[in-house]
Each structure stands twice: as structure tokens, then as C-alpha cells.
Structure 1
Amino acid sequence: MKGFVSSRLHPFANLLLLVGLMLLAACVAGFLMAVLSNLLFGVGLLEIGNVTNKPDTYANGWGVSMLTQGVFLFVGFGGAALALPLLTGYSWQEYFAPRRPVPYNWLLLAAGIILLSVPFMSGLVEWNAKAHFPGFLQGLEKDARELEDRAQVLTKYLTQFTTFGRFIVGLIVIAVVPAISEELVFRGVIQRNLVQWFNSRHVGVWLAAAIFSAIHFQFFGFVPRFVLGLVLGYLYEWSGNILVPMAAHFTQNAFQIVLLYMQQRQLMSSETFNPDSNEALPWWLQLLSLLLTGALLWQLYRHTLRPTADPLPTQLRTLSGGGVANPAVHTAPIIGRTINHEGVDVTKS
């Protein structure tokens, strides 16, 4: 497949190209948001900003806010990530899932890891929420907390699922769309290129996780989101298939949405689940959660080290230290090798 841009670009150039594509995609998303909000809700381009800033003061504020958030993520993030491989001469499967399809149990295990980690993550959430800046940065801490408090008020309004229809819309916009779009960007493009750039899977995973957490602009939630980014990053690195971190990301967001809906419908007491609380679960449950999550992650890691046989010819692209693609077509089965998602033989690494 021939692209408009050379596939031999340095990873840093690919990341700059991603930024440019995201800016272009954001413009397209803005146009679509204006058209759809006008057609569906009668809200014009000049009104969208006011409606999304204070949606509770407008009759169609909830719908417009959900629409704009979903379109922006799906087009602005996902669209840019999908455009990059096409421009550089890759197919989507080759770029985001170059290994043969992973077994379905990988998707289930990825979801299970997220659910098992909930008690441990609650401890990180509480610790990070109570963190403080150094004394000379108290003013910055005050501004950061006020910003997050305002964001929390908006989030609380948007997650008021008064009907089952609203719950479905919330599940799509808050769970499905971010799982697809953010994983394409942060794991599929950013992590992939960072791994190539630094020639280190660990450096690529950790840097991508830091960027993933920082771009949400929530200092008092940075650490748990960073840890989540690490889990998603290693799931992608080990599986070589973008669907695996997507399944985990979807589970993370959907689990919270489902619990919130159950609490709002009085199917669960506020004592069992309080969406406004940052209080951690008991320490022994956190410890058990950490051990079980770590054990499951270790099993998945060990699975990637096992010699495997690919019964069909596999076209691989190995990369030199400068990030130059060197196509190599194998006409015989690859036996007894472990291949990472970049098509690099890591049997002995």
C-alpha cells in the first residue's frame, strides 16, 4: 500500500504529523458538531460554546454536550489516528494489530484485570486526591482544585441518567468512544512511535502513559490514570493488538457508568457506591486486589514469552535504529519465535 507520506519517517516526525492531523480533524469535528447540533437541537455554531459551558441552563444542554464530546473524540482523536497509517502507506490492521488476531480470552482477561484492580485503584485515587503542592505553589494548587471542582460539577450533571436512553447515550459517549479513539491515539500511534524512537518498550509505555494522564488536565487524578495507562500500554505491547487495550479501557469507563446508573435507579445504595466519594476501600481488599491483578498480568506476560507457531505466512516490517522500515516477507511459517506488535523478534529479549 502506497501512502502520500514516506513510511521511512523518523518516529518524531510521525508524532508531529499526528499533531497536525489532530488539528485538522478538530476543525472537521467542529464543523460536524455545528451541523448536527443545529439539525438535532436547533443550536447554532455561535451558541455551542455557551451551551456546553453551562448545559444545565439550556433545555437541550445535556444532548448538545454529549453530542459535541462524542464527535470531538471520535473525529478529532480517532479520525486523526486512523488517517496517519493511511498517509504513511500502512493498512489499519498492519499498523494497529500487525500480529494475527489474538484469542477472545485476551479481551476477557483484559476486562478482568480492570475489574480486579478496582480496590487497589481506589487507594491511589484517595491518596492522589489528598496530595498537596509544595508551600510555594499553594496558589497554583488552589487554582487546580477550583478547576477540577468545576469539571466535577459538569461531569455530575452529564452523568445524571434520568432515562434508560440517556444511560445508553452516556455509555456510548463516555465508554465506547474514548476506548476506541484514545487507544488509537495513545497506544496505537504515540506509544508505537515512542517505542521505535527510544528502542525500548518500557520507555515507550511509560512515556505514553504519562502523556495519556497529563492530557486529561487533572492533577489530583494523575497517578491512578497514569497507572491505568501503564496497564493499557503493556497489554498492547504484549498482545500486539489494539483491541486488547480497547477492551480494558471500555471496561474501566463502563463499569463506573453502570454502577452510577444502578445507584441513580436505587438498585444500589449510596453506602455501597458513592460517586462523589474518593474514599478508598479497606487496605486488605486493596492488597488482595494488587496481588490478583499482578498475578493475572504476569500470566499474560508469560504467555507472550512462549514459543508460538504461526501457521500462515506473515509479512513483517522490521525497523532499524533510525525508525526506517525494512519490509521482509516470510513465505514459511515462523516457528518458535515471539514477535512484538512492531514485528520485531523479541524471543531473546
Structure 2
Amino acid sequence: MKGFVSSRLHPAANLLLLLVVAFVMFCLSSLLIAVCSNLFFHVGLLEMGNVQQAPQAYPNGWGVMMLSQGLLLLGGVGGAAIVLAALTGHKLADYFAPRRPVPLWWALVAMALIIISLPFMSGLIDWNAHAHLPDFLHSWEVKAKAMEDKAQIITRFLTRFTSLTRFLVAVLVIAVVPAVSEELFFRGVIQRNLVQWFNSRHVGIWLAAAIFSAIHFQFLGFVPRFVLGLVLGYLYEWSGNIFVPIAAHFAQNGFQLLLLYIQQREWSTTAFDPDSTEALPWPLMLLSLVVCAGLLWLLRRHMQAPHADELPTEMHTLSSGGVAVASADAPVPARTLSHHGVDITRENK
């Protein structure tokens, strides 16, 4: 399939194009949000900003915020990733899942891994919550924490489930849509191009995880979200199928929502607080870490084993300047990349 732009652009050019596409998609999504908010909730464009700043003060604030968040992520983030793949002439299945199909149990184990990691992650959350930046960044730290406190008030309002319908809408908007959109964007496009750019799987995965965590603008959650990004990144790298990190990402958000719903319905007598930043007992954190390490080893072993139904590896050839050429016989010095963008003519980094 021929795209509007070359499929052989340098990875840096692809990332720059992604930013342009994302900006356009965010503008279009914002326009759609304004139309839908006025149509369904009678909230005009001039009132939209006030509702988003303090949704708890408006009768339709919950609905407007859910609509806004869902459409913005779906169109501005997930839509940008899909449009970029289409613009460069790729089939979506080949671009985001070059090793399709994958066994269902891979996704199920990936979901279990994320849930089992929560006790260990509680230790990282506790450490991050009490961490401090150097003195010269103290004023920025104070402002960042104030912004997070304000955002936390809105988050608690949005996750106050007064009915089953609200819970199901929240699962769709807070669990399903981010899992699909963010994985397409951060793993499917950003990580893919960073791996190609630096010719290293590990550098690409770690940089993508750092961008994934930083883009959420949550200082208190940077480290645990960075670790989550690493896990999701390696799951995508090992499996070669975007469905695996999507399933794991959904488990992360969906399980937290389920805990909140159980707590709010008072279905359990166990005292737990899904919003707590305190670490769980260290034996539980240690057990969580050991089990997660075992599951990661199991997934890596099976995902990287050759499979009879695996698609042939797509080969790309880049010149020494990083620009793709038609074949390895090009007159400029070239290197050959796998579909992950890693130089297979060299020893893996």
C-alpha cells in the first residue's frame, strides 16, 4: 500500500511527523468534543474550560469529562498513531503486530504479571511520594505537587461510582481507551522508531518508557510509571504484537477501577485503599517481585522462541545517514534492520 509520505523516512523524521499528526488530531478531537458536549450535555464552548477545571461543580461535569478524556485519547493519541502508519503506507496489522498472531495465554500471563506486580509497585509509589528534587528545583517541585493535588481531586470525582453504569463507562474511558491508544502511540510508534534510530532495543525501550512516564506530568508517579513503561516495552519487543502490552495496560487500569468499585460498594470487609501511596508489607512486596521476575522470564523464553506461524521478518535497509534505501545493493554504505528496527548485521546491544 502506497502512502502519502515515504515509508523509508529516517526514524527522527517519523517522530517529528508523529508530533505534527498528533497536533492536528488533537485539534480535530477538541472540535468533536465541543460539538458532542453541546449536543449531549448542553455545555457550550465558552463554558467548557470551567467545567474541565472543576467538573464537580456542574451537574453534567462527570459526563463532559469522561467524554472529553475518551475522545481526546482515542483521537489525539491512538488516532495519531494509526494515521501515521497509514500515511507512510503500512498496513496496520503489519505495522503494530509484525509477528501476529500470538497465543492468548501470552496476553493472560501479561495481565496476571501486572496485577501481581502491584504490591512491589506500592513500594516504588511510596518511595517516589517521599522523594525530593535537588534544592535548585524545589520551587518547581512545590508547583508540581500542587498541580497533582488539584488533579487528584478531579480524579477522585471521576472515580466516584454511584451506579454500575458509571463504573462501566469508567472502565471504557479509563481502562480500555488508554490501553489501546497509549500502546499504539508509545510502544507501536515511538518505541519502534527509537529502536530503529539508536539501533538498540534497550535504548529504544528505556527512552520510550521515560517519555511515556513524563508525558503524564505526575512527579509523584514518575518512577512507578517508568517501570510500568519498561515492562510494557519489553512485552511488545518480545512478543512483536501490540495486543500483549495492550492487555497488560488494561489490567493495570482496570484492576484499580475494580478495587475502587468494590470498596465503594462495601462488598469486602478487608481494609484496603487503592489510592494509598503507602507501601504494603515488605514480605508481600518481595514475594511480588520474585513472582513477577519468574513470569517475565517465562514470557521472554516463550515469546522469543521461533514459531511456525510467525510472519517472515520484514527487512529494511538504511544508509549510513539513517535514510532507508530500496535494497542492500544501494551505492551508499548500508546496514540491514529487522522489522523491530535493530541492526541484525551487528551483535545485539
Using structure 2 for the length normalisation, give the TM-score. Answer: 0.92
Distance in 2 (alpha carbons) for counterparts of 1:295 and 1:259: 25
Structure 1: tracts of 5 or more residues without a match:
329-338
Distance in 2 (alpha carbons) for counterparts of 1:166 and 1:137: 40
1:218/1:346 Cα in 2 relative to 1: closer, same or farther (>3 Å)?
A: farther
Larger deviation, residues 26-35 vs 205-214: 26-35
State the 1:340 CA deviation: 6.2
1:315/1:274 Cα in 2 relative to 1: closer, same or farther (>3 Å)?
A: closer
Give the structure 2 partner of residue 243 of structure 1: 243
Equivalent AA in structure 2 for residue 83 of structure 1: V
Distance in 1 (alpha carbons) for counterparts of 2:159 and 2:37: 20
Distance in 2 (alpha carbons) for counterparts of 1:231 and 1:172: 23
Distance in 1 (alpha carbons) for counterparts of 2:312 and 2:279: 47
Give the structure 2 partner of residue 44 of structure 1: 44
Deviations 1:4-30 (A, max 9, x none): 000110000000000000000011101
Distance in 2 (alpha carbons) for counterparts of 1:63 and 1:124: 33
- Would you say 1:309 and 2:315 are equivalent positions? no
- Whether contact under 8 Å (2:313, 2:339) holds in the other structure is no
Equivalent AA in structure 2 for residue 16 of structure 1: L
Distance in 1 (alpha carbons) for counterparts of 2:182 and 2:107: 17
Give the structure 2 partner of residue 279 of structure 1: 278
Equivalent AA in structure 2 for residue 65 of structure 1: M
Give the structure 1 partner of residue 202 of structure 2: 202
Distance in 2 (alpha carbons) for counterparts of 1:300 and 1:348: 23
Equivalent AA in structure 2 for residue 316 of structure 1: E
Q: After TM superposition, what 4+ stretches of structure 1 lie above 4 angstroms from structure 2?
A: 325-328, 339-349
State the 1:342 CA deviation: 5.0
State the 1:318 CA deviation: 2.8
Distance in 2 (alpha carbons) for counterparts of 1:66 and 1:261: 17
Could you say what secondary structure the match of 1:285 adopts? helix
Equivalent AA in structure 1 for residue 273 of structure 2: N
- Whether contact under 8 Å (1:7, 1:325) holds in the other structure is no
Distance in 2 (alpha carbons) for counterparts of 1:253 and 1:307: 31
Distance in 2 (alpha carbons) for counterparts of 1:198 and 1:146: 37
State the 1:304 CA deviation: 3.6
Distance in 1 (alpha carbons) for counterparts of 2:27 and 2:295: 42
- Whether contact under 8 Å (1:179, 1:249) holds in the other structure is yes
CA RMSD of aligned residues (A): 2.0
State the 1:343 CA deviation: 8.9
Distance in 2 (alpha carbons) for counterparts of 1:90 and 1:35: 32
- Whether contact under 8 Å (1:197, 1:323) holds in the other structure is no
- Would you say 1:145 and 2:115 are equivalent positions? no
Larger deviation, residues 273-282 vs 57-66: 273-282
Could you say what secondary structure the match of 1:320 adopts? strand
Aligned residues: 337
Distance in 2 (alpha carbons) for counterparts of 1:29 and 1:67: 11
Equivalent AA in structure 2 for residue 207 of structure 1: L
- Would you say 1:64 and 2:64 are equivalent positions? yes
1:346/1:187 Cα in 2 relative to 1: closer, same or farther (>3 Å)?
A: farther
State the 1:341 CA deviation: 4.3
% identity of equivalent residues: 61
Deviations 1:66-106 (A, max 9, x none): 10011000000011100001110101011000113111011
Q: What does 1:1-349 correspond to in 2, within 5 Å?
A: 1-269=1-269, 272-310=271-309, 314=312, 316-320=314-318, 322=322, 324=324, 341-342=340-341, 349=348
Deviations 1:271-311 (A, max 9, x none): 63213421111101111111110111111112244343347
1:101/1:107 Cα in 2 relative to 1: closer, same or farther (>3 Å)?
A: same
- Whether contact under 8 Å (2:7, 2:89) holds in the other structure is yes
State the 1:143 CA deviation: 1.2
Using structure 1 for the length normalisation, give the TM-score. Answer: 0.92
- Whether contact under 8 Å (2:199, 2:341) holds in the other structure is no
Larger deviation, residues 135-144 vs 8-17: 135-144
